[in-house]
Amino acid sequence: MKVYLVGGAVRDRLLGVPYDECDWVVVGATPEQMRAQGFEPVGKDFPVFLHPKTKEEYALARTERKSGHGYAGFTFHTDPSVTLEQDLIRRDLTINAMAQTDAGEVIDPYGGQRDLAAKKLRHVSPAFAEDPVRILRIARFAARYHRLGFTVAEETLALMRTMVSEGEVDHLVAERVWKELERALGEPNPEVFIEVLRACGALARIMPELDCLWGVPQRPEYHPEVDTGVHTLMSLQQAVALSDDVRLRFATLVHDLGKGVTPKSEWPRHLMHETRGVPLVKAVCERMGVPKEHRELAVLVCEQHLNCHRAFELKPATLLKMLQKLDAFRRPERVRLFTLACMADARGRTGFEDKPYPQAAYLQAAQAACAQVQSQTLIAQGIAGKALGDAINKQRVHAIGELKAAVQAG
């Protein structure tokens, strides 16, 4: 029985970047031998075990064969005769198909070190095409390592295009798409994830509401970059610069979906695009099983981002209504995320990248001013029921009005 460190830990050690977990492959062992040594079995489709002390995953070397469509369409074979090379060749990328011995020797039968040096994301074998999830994974790796200069190899991109044209991507489970998107949004360059999916045609299949934004023009006086898709990814870059919160980044990604359904006769204007976009955002979230907090923020940013941009022009009562839609008095943290997403939108335009966005501080100050209104004081005055709600709103409007007057006075 031989044990090897495999996959991402080997790759990232060679790159000199931090990594969080170690995966191990065991060659020449049986499940019975693993259990006898105290390993805890956890794999359902093939034997994977947890180390009795470190709890790291140890998988028996295996081969796999395509037996259907999608991520689950495989049968696995494992026994002591399966070699390390046979196990490694079933992996997705050459840089992920390396192993390391206890002595530190790197075993690299498929050119992973060569591609690390060349900064290429290249598939190990034609078997890459059997699993559509690998399209999402390679796009995510491109987002992670873009800052190091990595790009997708041309032959791999061509294979991904073939997978899309042959319909393999259509078998992706929507929840798995969200899982990979969520992880990609946490990477240093999530816009690259979207760019790679567009380049191979997969984005049009898995998120057509977003893909259709490219080629949709906007008014150049407001959007010098003109193209809505370009603006969307510029906004996403700004969101990354502002926060590592994936909820914010997702909301920014989908904030302008409504522009994709603007009639061409109305181009380059997009009247009511925020209203048109809300059902599209909801549909994306429903289809992919997006978590509730992500979904709620995304809908609010889509619906209210223009109001945030116009915050200084809004009447105090209108601004209060926006805060109430944000549930700002029970969830003040949401105001911060909302305003950051709107700031990312405002700065995601050519020439506007460093422009101040005082609306964010103004909206947060308005929330804080309203929060000073104490219902207990009004209750002590004998006000109750609907009258209490009206009185609270009246005082909150007054508080916003005083804030607005102070801001206008400089």
pLDDT tens digits, residue range 346-398?
999 999 999 999 999 999 999 999 999 888 777 767 788 888 878 899 999 99
Can you give the pLDDT at residue 386? 83
Measured in whole angstroms, how far is the alpha carbon of residue 328 from the centre of its chain?
25
**And the tokens for 192?**
């690259």
Can you give the pLDDT at residue 72? 53
Helix (H, G, I), strand (E, B) or coil at 77: strand
Extract long-range pairs of 232-235: CB within 8 Å, 24+ residues apart. Answer: 232/256, 232/348, 233/191, 233/194, 233/195, 233/348, 234/348, 234/349, 234/350, 234/353, 235/344, 235/345, 235/347, 235/348
- State pLDDT tens for residues 246-263: 999 999 999 999 999 999
* CA 130 – CA 109 distance, rounded (Å): 21
* CA 409 – CA 378 distance, rounded (Å): 30
Burial class of residue 363 (count of CB atoms within 10 Å of its CB; 0-12, 13-18, 19+) = buried
Average pLDDT across the chain, whole number: 94
* CA 21 – CA 40 distance, rounded (Å): 18
- Judge whether 297 and 341 are in contact, CB under 8 Å: yes
Q: If we measure between CA atoms, which residue out of 394, 331, 323 comes closest to residue 365?
A: 323
What pTM value is reported for the model?
0.91
Share of the chain above pLDDT 70, in %: 96
- Judge whether 121 and 143 are in contact, CB under 8 Å: no
Starting at the edge strand found earlier in the chain, the sheet holding 106-107 runs 40-41, 48-50, 57-60, 23-27, 2-6, 99-100, 106-107
Residue 74: pLDDT over 60: no
Q: If we measure between CA atoms, which residue out of 229, 225, 171 comes closest to residue 199?
A: 229
Say if residue 268 is preceded by a cis peptide, omega within 30 of 0. Answer: yes
Q: Work out the end-to-end distance of the chain between its first and last CA atoms, rounded to an integer number of angstroms.
A: 75
**Residue type at 256 in one-letter notation:** D
Q: What are the structural domains, with CATH classification, of the chain? A: 1-110 (3.30.460.10), 371-409 (no CATH)
Exposure string for 141-165, b = 16+ CB within 10 A, e = fewer:
bbbbbbeeebbbbeebbebbeebbe
* CA 190 – CA 212 distance, rounded (Å): 18
- State pLDDT tens for residues 187-232: 999 999 999 999 999 999 999 999 999 999 999 999 999 999 999 9
Can you give the pLDDT at residue 77? 79
Residue 410: pLDDT over 90: no
Mean pLDDT throughout 271-295? 97
Can you give the pLDDT at residue 292? 97
Mean pLDDT throughout 106-127? 97
Burial class of residue 78 (count of CB atoms within 10 Å of its CB; 0-12, 13-18, 19+) = buried
- State pLDDT tens for residues 298-352: 999 999 999 999 999 999 999 999 999 999 999 999 999 999 999 999 999 999 9
- State pLDDT tens for residues 33-59: 999 999 999 977 678 999 999 999 999
- Judge whether 138 and 251 are in contact, CB under 8 Å: no
Residue 115: pLDDT over 80: yes
